[in-house]
């Protein structure tokens, strides 16, 4: 079982890499903070320590950088975990978290909240609930489509998703072009600028409620990639497992998209990166996807807030990095590809 | 374990695919299901595996009606060896076989030491232990078929349903796989397979079920069922059935070739 031990080691390595990236990210920004002070402030939370940093440093670190860094990691983790899970239960390497309309619904929810002069937190909550609503509709309609259940889900995902996209366009059309329209467009490009600790408090519960069962179900995901008939013959209640995975993935995706806006490519590309590193077995693939997703979005967000004087929206960066990288990945081959 | 199918009928919409199909298979028996493409073999297998509901008639496994069983209950009775197809994702041979043990662990956990030991034994048993770390799509099709067979073995059910296990194999691998299948039958398994090769079916099977348009054309020991008329009825092809080695083997030869073969130089006359 050399490969298994090797993979466990790789997952541990990824975790260490993530920790390192998080610590370094705290120091980065328009207001640089030395590593010594970052560690000092972190330690002072668990151990009484003489303050050798300014109050302003502590505020920047805890009120601005902390929520942003944590959310970048969480959103990246959620999107890539659900991408990997969907690829398994839909038996399709091209599946991504928004396949059942979660993003389209969130976009509509956010646009609607902006149109109604919602504050930042209202926008997040509205995006979250419309995301859940969209996927519920998709699931409801798919149950009424005869034939293969996967095809039914994907078809009704496309239909309901494009309905909500049209609705979002309608909201854009009637929105005030001086302030509301730019706000909607900016939200759609995806960004973690301006997230606060309240966003963490809101998103963390659905994220954990989503990710934890996905991690527990990861052996079943392996079996489901074999197809419905084969998995059933191996004793798996295919519909129940797929339903559970969809619920959990939707919770995690909705919470992620609600705080970050549209961030594409992460959920498609990162699982494939993880597949290249640890293979297709979900026992290692899912933890590796979560960690790679967290690292990736954290790095991209660092670029987003540090590269230029203005913030570069996350969705633009993930597409610019993700798409070419995906081409590179799928043109390479390995024993388990 | 025995399987007893009585008066099984199944409709896809208005289309009757299975008509009053009845047969039985016991332990120590290899039953081969023969018939042209699209005759309802796959539908029959999907009914037996509990994948299709809404059939009429009865399927009993050891006297228990399977219509009331869920996926896990079915999997403990019958294992399925599917026709080879490319999986969406490539797994190592070991992981692939390990999936067969899933019914033994709860939905929220993964196979443990006991299941891994079963996998090692099954790989050893079928002589493919050296492949365990290889990717499933990177081994030969004969080896792939043995991997799928190993996956069914670790499920620890005593009835195996095999969908054309030899259809994409070369002659050597067909015989190799069927020899393994035959030795499992010797150990007490009940095995039902579908096949397109009448010669090999005669050689290896204990019973033959011939299906035409969803109905049973013949059922019984191969030496009673296999006749020139049956082959003609099944495939619309006139054949000459030659018996070899004291009727241990019967070979089908298409009639037009067999007739010409008696005259010298027949090949050039074809």
**Domain segments of chain B as ranges:** 3-237, 238-270
Place of tokens 């038996």: A91
Residue B91 to residue A230, Cβ atoms within 8 A: no
Q: Report the alpha-carbon distance of residue B46 to residue B51 in Å, rounded.
A: 5
Chain B closest-CA separation from residue A291 CA (Å): 21
Chain A hits for B82, CB-CB cut-off 8 Å, are 227, 229-230, 233
Strands B64-65 and B29-34: unpaired
Residue A236 to residue B74, Cβ atoms within 8 A: no
Token reading at A76: 């990246």
A146 at interface of B, judged by CB pairs closer than 8 A: no
Is A3's pLDDT higher than 80? no
First-to-final CA distance of chain A: 20
- The pLDDT, as a whole number, for residue B155 is 96
Token reading at A38: 């970052």
Element at B241 (helix H, strand E): strand B239-244
Contact B54, B9 (CB under 8 A): no
Burial degree of B187 (CB within 10 A; 0-12, 13-18, 19+): exposed
Superfamily in which the B3-237 domain is placed by CATH: P-loop containing nucleotide triphosphate hydrolases (3.40.50.300)
The residues facing B239 across adjacent strands are B254
The residues facing B78 across adjacent strands are B159
Query: What backbone torsions phi and psi does residue A280 show, to the nearest 5 degrees?
Result: -90, -10
Query: What backbone torsions phi and psi does residue B209 show, to the nearest 5 degrees?
Result: -120, 115
Chain A hits for B49, CB-CB cut-off 8 Å, are 229, 232-233
Token reading at A311: 């913030």
Is A333's pLDDT higher than 70? no
Element at B162 (helix H, strand E): strand B159-162
Is A113's pLDDT higher than 70? yes
Which of B90, B105, B109 is nearest residue A336 as measured by Cβ atoms? B90
Confidence of residue B267 (pLDDT cuts 50, 70, 90): low
Chain A closest-CA separation from residue B46 CA (Å): 8
Is B156's pLDDT higher than 60? yes
Q: Report the alpha-carbon distance of residue B174 to residue B186 in Å, rounded.
A: 18
Q: Which of A189-193, B30-34, B113-117, B198-202 has the lowest mean pLDDT?
A: B198-202
Residue A235 to residue B133, Cβ atoms within 8 A: no
pLDDT, tens digit, 9 for 90 and up, residues A206-262: 999 999 999 999 999 999 999 999 999 999 999 999 999 999 999 999 999 999 999
Which residue of B44, B69, B70, B89 to mutate against A (max A Cβ within 10 Å)? Answer: B89
Place of tokens 């005759």: B39
Chain-centre distance for alpha carbon A314: 12
- pTM value is 0.91
Which of B79, B111, B155 is nearest residue A219 as measured by Cβ atoms? B111
How many Å is the Cα radius of gyration of chain B?
20
Chain A hits for B108, CB-CB cut-off 8 Å, are 213, 216-217
Burial degree of A56 (CB within 10 A; 0-12, 13-18, 19+): exposed
Residue ranges covered by each domain of chain A: 2-331
Mean pLDDT rounded to a whole number for chain B: 91
The angle, 0 to 180 degrees and rounded to 10, between the axes of the packed helices A66-89 and A2-27 is 150
Which of A1, A216, A234 is nearest residue B155 as measured by Cβ atoms? A234
Is B270's pLDDT higher than 70? no
Element at B33 (helix H, strand E): strand B29-34
The residues facing B24 across adjacent strands are B4
Contact B122, B65 (CB under 8 A): no
Is B193's pLDDT higher than 70? yes
Contact B55, B9 (CB under 8 A): yes
Size of interface A-B (CB pairs under 8 A): 101
Strand order in the sheet with B159-162: B78-81, B159-162, B190-195, B29-34, B207-212, B215-220
pLDDT, tens digit, 9 for 90 and up, residues A284-328: 999 999 999 999 999 999 999 998 888 899 999 999 998 898 888
Confidence of residue A10 (pLDDT cuts 50, 70, 90): very high
Interface of A with B in 3-22 (CB under 8 A): 3
Contact A77, A290 (CB under 8 A): yes
Token reading at B224: 């009673």
Chain A closest-CA separation from residue B78 CA (Å): 8
Question: Is B190 in a helix, a strand, or coil?
Answer: strand
Higher pLDDT pick, B252 / B73: B73
Q: Report the alpha-carbon distance of residue A165 to residue A172 in Å, rounded.
A: 11
Confidence of residue A335 (pLDDT cuts 50, 70, 90): very low
Give start and end residues of each alpha helix (H) in A62-196. Answer: 66-89, 102-115, 120-142, 149-174, 180-189
Q: What is the CATH number of domain A2-331?
A: 1.10.3470.10
A280 at interface of B, judged by CB pairs closer than 8 A: yes
Closest-CA residue of B relative to A281 is B91
Contact A35, A27 (CB under 8 A): yes
Confidence of residue B161 (pLDDT cuts 50, 70, 90): very high
Confidence of residue A188 (pLDDT cuts 50, 70, 90): very high
């Amino acid at each position: 079982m050399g490969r298994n031990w090797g993979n466990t080691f790789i997952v541990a390595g990824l975790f260490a890499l993530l920790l390192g990236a998080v610590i370094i990210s705290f120091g980065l920004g328009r207001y640089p903070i030395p590593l010594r002070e970052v560690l000092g402030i972190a330690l002072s939370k668990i151990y009484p320590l003489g303050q050798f940093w300014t109050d302003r440093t502590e505020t920047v670190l805890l009120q601005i950088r902390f929520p942003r860094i944590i959310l970048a990691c969480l959103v990246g983790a959620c999107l890539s975990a659900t991408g990997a899970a969907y690829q398994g239960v839909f038996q399709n390497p091209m599946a991504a978290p928004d396949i059942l309309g979660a993003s389209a619904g969130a976009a509509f929810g956010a646009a609607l909240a902006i149109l109604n002069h919602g504050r930042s937190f209202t926008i997040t909550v509205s995006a979250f609930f419309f995301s859940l609503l969209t996927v519920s509709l998709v699931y409801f309609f798919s149950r009424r489509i005869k034939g293969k259940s996967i095809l039914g889900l994907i078809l009704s995902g496309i239909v309901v998703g494009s309905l909500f996209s049209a609705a979002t366009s309608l909201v854009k059309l009637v929105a005030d072009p001086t302030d509301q329209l730019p706000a909607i467009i900016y939200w759609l490009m995806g960004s973690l600028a301006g997230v606060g600790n309240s966003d963490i408090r809101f998103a963390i519960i659905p994220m954990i409620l989503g990710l934890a069962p996905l991690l527990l179900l990861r052996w079943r995901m392996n079996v489901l990639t074999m197809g419905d008939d084969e998995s059933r013959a191996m004793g798996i209640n295919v519909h129940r497992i797929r339903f559970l995975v969809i619920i959990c993935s939707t919770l995690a995706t909705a919470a992620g998209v609600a705080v970050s806006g549209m961030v594409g490519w992460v959920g498609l590309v990162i699982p494939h990166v993880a597949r290249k590193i640890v293979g297709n077995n979900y026992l290692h693939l899912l933890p590796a996807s979560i960690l790679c997703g967290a690292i990736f979005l954290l790095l991209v967000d660092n670029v987003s807030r540090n590269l230029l004087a203005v913030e570069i929206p996350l969705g633009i960066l993930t597409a610019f990095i993700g798409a070419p990288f995906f081409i590179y990945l799928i043109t390479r081959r390995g024993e388990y590809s | 374990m025995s399987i007893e199918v009585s008066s099984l009928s199944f409709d896809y919409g208005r289309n009757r695919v299975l008509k009053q199909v009845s047969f039985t298979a016991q332990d120590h028996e290899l039953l081969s299901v023969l018939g042209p493409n699209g005759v309802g073999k796959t539908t029959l297998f999907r009914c037996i595996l509990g994948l299709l509901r809404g059939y009429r008639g009865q399927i009993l496994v050891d006297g228990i009606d399977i219509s009331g069983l869920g996926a896990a209950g079915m999997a403990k009775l019958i294992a399925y060896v599917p026709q080879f197809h490319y999986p969406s994702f490539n797994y190592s041979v070991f992981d692939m076989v390990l999936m067969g043990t899933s019914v033994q662990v709860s939905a929220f956990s993964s196979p443990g030491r006991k299941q891994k030991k079963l996998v090692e034994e099954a790989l050893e048993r079928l002589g493919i232990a050296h492949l365990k770390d290889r990717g499933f799509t990177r081994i030969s099709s004969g080896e792939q078929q043995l991997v799928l067979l190993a996956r069914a073995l670790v499920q620890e059910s005593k009835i195996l349903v095999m969908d054309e296990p030899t259809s994409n194999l070369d002659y050597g691998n067909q015989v190799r796989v069927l020899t393994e299948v035959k030795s499992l039958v010797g150990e007490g398994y009940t095995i039902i397979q579908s096949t397109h090769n009448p010669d090999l079916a005669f050689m290896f099977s204990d019973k033959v079920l011939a299906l035409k348009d969803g109905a049973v054309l013949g059922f019984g020991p191969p030496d009673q069922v296999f006749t020139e008329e049956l082959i003609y009825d099944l495939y619309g092809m006139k054949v000459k059935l030659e018996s070899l080695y004291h009727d241990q083997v019967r070979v089908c030869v298409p009639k037009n070739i067999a007739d010409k073969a008696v005259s010298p130089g027949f090949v050039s006359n074809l």
